[in-house]
């Protein structure tokens, strides 16, 4: 997913807590799904940022180059202005864009069928 194109809030906003119950039926499951998705997004964004910064890295860095590498500074600033992974995961969750499953529930259903 291209996180640069996600249209979500960049700051925390008040939300209706009942919308978080709709998909899971349990607020704790919803929080668990949100945290796992936010971790996935955060790792993907960090890997992408590191790849882009590595493109502009020089093998022999001296002190002046470290503080004056404008390309790396611009890339870092761009990523600072993106929405945080938690806000992106909330946006995806509330718009039903996250697939999740609970293996414990699946085992319980199989046990009931037998």
> What average pLDDT does this structure show over 94-110?
83
pLDDT tens readout for residues 37-75:
999 999 999 999 888 888 877 666 565 555 667 788 888
Return d(Cα 72, Cα 27) in angstroms, integer: 40
Percent of the chain with pLDDT over 90: 29
Return d(Cα 28, Cα 24) in angstroms, integer: 9
Percent of the chain with pLDDT over 70: 86
Contact 38, 86 (CB under 8 A): yes
How distant, in Å, are the alpha carbons of 24, 40, 51, 55, 69 from that of 48? 31, 12, 5, 11, 18
Q: Helix (H) and strand (E) counts for the chain?
A: 6, 0
Q: Is residue 11 very low, low, confident or very high in pLDDT (cuts 50, 70, 90)?
A: confident
């Amino acid at each position: 997913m291209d996180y640069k194109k996600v249209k979500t809030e960049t700051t925390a906003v008040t939300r209706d807590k009942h919308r978080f119950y709709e998909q899971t039926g349990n607020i704790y499951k919803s929080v668990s799904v949100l945290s796992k998705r936010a971790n996935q997004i955060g790792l993907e964004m960090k890997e992408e940022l590191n790849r882009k910064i590595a493109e502009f890295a020089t093998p022999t860095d001296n002190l002046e180059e470290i503080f004056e590498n404008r390309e790396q500074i611009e890339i870092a600033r761009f990523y600072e202005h993106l929405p945080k992974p938690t806000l992106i995961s909330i946006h995806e969750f509330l718009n039903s864009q996250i697939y999740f499953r609970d293996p414990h529930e699946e085992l319980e259903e199989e046990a009931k069928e037998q």
